[in-house]
Amino acid sequence: MTTTRQAGTRARILTAAVEVIAAHGVSGATTKRIAASAGCSEALIYKHFTGKEELFLAVILEVMPGLAHALDRLRSDLDERPLAEALTAFAESAVEFYRQAAPIASGLLTDPALLGAFRAMLAVRQAGPHIPIAVLAGILRAQQAAGRIRADADCDGAAALLMGACYQRADHSLLVELPTEPASFAGSAVSALLTGLSA
Amino acid sequence: MTTTRQAGTRARILTAAVEVIAAHGVSGATTKRIAASAGCSEALIYKHFTGKEELFLAVILEVMPGLAHALDRLRSDLDERPLAEALTAFAESAVEFYRQAAPIASGLLTDPALLGAFRAMLAVRQAGPHIPIAVLAGILRAQQAAGRIRADADCDGAAALLMGACYQRADHSLLVELPTEPASFAGSAVSALLTGLSA
């Protein structure tokens, strides 16, 4: 009973955090504002989260449409669809994820104190934004073992290329009106990734 | 004479802006602080720049070790070195550029008002962070025309992949202690880009 209520409060705080970050940015997302929006005390926030960093990490990991989910779908897609199709669908999801994550990620990079605390927390947990790239590389290596990706391809490099392109595309789409559609971006990036440049 | 002095003031303001951004982040980089650091009045800042957005754009374009410069070097490198070597050297420079640009880019994405003004300015000037990708694609297409890149490769996609990987790598390096060295990252990404995945 208590546990259910606690889980409810935690979820309410997370939802409030998302709303406050959207309205005021990370730097303006004070625990005071989040508490007001969640209808709870600031003290209650600190009962559920050790600090703003942990709250933001929970927002990234638990609330936003997950990159982990997109990676799961890629894994099952690959059983049924051609490599190019599955990777293109994944790239579109990844761009969407990074678009939603951008305000928080940027907020962390902008605030030296918060960045320091976040770095320390990620180091202890061995977590971080580079983990999904390693997961994608693992998925590619499984395809390689099955003979669907050429044996001499660098799967770590390929994962960094595809994920990085999606990440940058997301940020750019927030800054400028890009000349290409998201689907055409994804198709073009995956085509380049599959073909390679070597003459 | 006056022009020289004006240019000197402009440069002093830009240098002060870089220092203040490094110390206080974009959100804390007020014209008041920048003026104090440059030893001039706030009014003088507004004589040289229409606003904070234009000042930040000038910092990105004029002060930081340029991405444009790295692209120029890639162009000349390609006359003398193998494709893989030239692209790897470029990737290392691009990561370094994006590392230095990150606090400003993030600051823009975090501040809704500043982001709006910056978007409007970029739209009018037809400038933006996506332009270097188009320049890289053009460089790759010239190599393709010369037969050094396979004829069916998607050069726009390839440029987005390489630049995006460098951009994300730079941001991640600010958030976590990455398990790979910069040179190994660049080599791995370029290897994947050249080989391609298609079995």
- The pLDDT confidence band at residue B2, using thresholds 50, 70 and 90, is low
Quick one: A114 and A176 in the same domain? yes
* Range A86-111 average pLDDT: 87
How many domains would you assign to chain B? 2
Q: What is the pLDDT of residues A39-74, one digit of tens each?
A: 999 999 999 998 888 888 788 777 665 788 899 999
Secondary-structure breakdown of chain A: helix, strand, coil percentages, each rounded to the nearest 5: 80, 0, 20
Quick one: A74 and A101 in the same domain? yes
**Chain A residue numbers touching B111 (CB-CB < 8 A):** 25, 27
pLDDT at B41 over 60: yes
**By the 8 A CB rule, do A162 and A91 touch?**
yes
Closest to A108 (Cα-Cα) out of B21, B107, B59: B107
pLDDT at B185 over 90: yes
Q: Domain ends where: B31, B60, B89?
A: B60
Per-residue pLDDT, A85:
97
Per-residue pLDDT, A193:
98
Domain that holds residue B25: 2-60
Element (H, E) at A68: helix A67-80
* Range A185-195 average pLDDT: 97
The nearest CA of chain B is from the CA of A22 a distance in Å of 9
Say if the Cβ atoms of A188 and B157 lie within 8 Å.
Answer: yes
Quick one: B42 and B73 in the same domain? no
Say if the Cβ atoms of B192 and A105 lie within 8 Å.
Answer: no
Strand-pairing partners, residue A198, are B149
Q: What is the pLDDT of residues B121-133, one digit of tens each?
A: 778 777 788 889 9
A192 at interface of B, judged by CB pairs closer than 8 A: yes
Percent of chain A whose pLDDT exceeds 90 = 55
- The pLDDT confidence band at residue A102, using thresholds 50, 70 and 90, is confident
Quick one: A51 and A149 in the same domain? no
Query: Which CATH number characterizes residue A174's domain?
Result: 1.10.357
pLDDT at A10 over 80: yes
pLDDT at A87 over 70: yes
Per-residue pLDDT, B196:
95
Say if the Cβ atoms of B112 and A140 lie within 8 Å.
Answer: no
Quick one: A181 and A143 in the same domain? yes
Query: Which CATH number characterizes residue B148's domain?
Result: 1.10.357.10
Quick one: A80 and A174 in the same domain? yes
Q: What is the DSSP string of B128-165?
A: -TTHHHHHHHHHHHHHHHTTSB-TT--HHHHHHHHHHH
Q: Domain ends where: A60, A86, A110?
A: A60
The nearest CA of chain B is from the CA of A81 a distance in Å of 15
pLDDT at B89 over 70: yes
Facing residue for A172 by CB, picked from B110, B129, B169: B129
Say if the Cβ atoms of A197 and B140 lie within 8 Å.
Answer: yes
Quick one: B76 and B132 in the same domain? yes
Cα–Cα–Cα angle for A186, B99, B125, rounded to 5 degrees:
65
Per-residue pLDDT, B1:
44
- For chain B, the farthest-separated pair of C-alpha atoms sits apart, in whole angstroms, at 65
Residue A123, C-beta contacts closer than 8 angstroms, at least 6 positions apart: B176, B177
- Residues 129-148 of chain B with CB under 8 A from chain A are 129-130, 133, 140, 147-148
pLDDT at A112 over 80: no
pLDDT at A1 over 70: no
Say if the Cβ atoms of A193 and B160 lie within 8 Å.
Answer: no
B46 or B6, which is more confident = B46
Q: Which residue has the tokens 């004829």?
A: B151
A118 or B77, which is more confident = B77
- B57/B63 Cα distance (integer angstroms): 10
* Range B56-68 average pLDDT: 76
Per-residue pLDDT, A65:
56
Per-residue pLDDT, A109:
76
Q: What is the mean pLDDT of chain B?
A: 88
The nearest CA of chain A is from the CA of B181 a distance in Å of 13
**Chain A residue numbers touching B78 (CB-CB < 8 A):** none
Per-residue pLDDT, A86:
97
Quick one: A35 and A16 in the same domain? yes
* Range B172-192 average pLDDT: 91
Q: What is the mean pLDDT of chain A?
A: 88
Quick one: B38 and B132 in the same domain? no
Indicate the DSSP class of residue B198. Answer: B
Quick one: B174 and B139 in the same domain? yes
Say if the Cβ atoms of B192 and A193 lie within 8 Å.
Answer: yes
Closest to A189 (Cα-Cα) out of B153, B166, B131, B143: B153
Say if the Cβ atoms of A157 and B191 lie within 8 Å.
Answer: yes
- Residues 32-61 of chain B with CB under 8 A from chain A are none
Quick one: B101 and B190 in the same domain? yes
- The pLDDT confidence band at residue A195, using thresholds 50, 70 and 90, is very high
- A186/B190 Cα distance (integer angstroms): 19
Per-residue pLDDT, B6:
75
pLDDT at A139 over 80: yes
pLDDT at A93 over 90: yes
Chain A residue with CA closest to B111: the answer is A25
pLDDT at A107 over 70: yes
Q: Domain ends where: A14, A35, A60?
A: A60
Quick one: B172 and B84 in the same domain? yes
Query: Which CATH number characterizes residue A51's domain?
Result: 1.10.10.60
A105 at interface of B, judged by CB pairs closer than 8 A: yes
Per-residue pLDDT, B35:
95
B110 at interface of A, judged by CB pairs closer than 8 A: yes
A10 or A25, which is more confident = A10
Q: Which residue has the tokens 């400038």?
A: B127
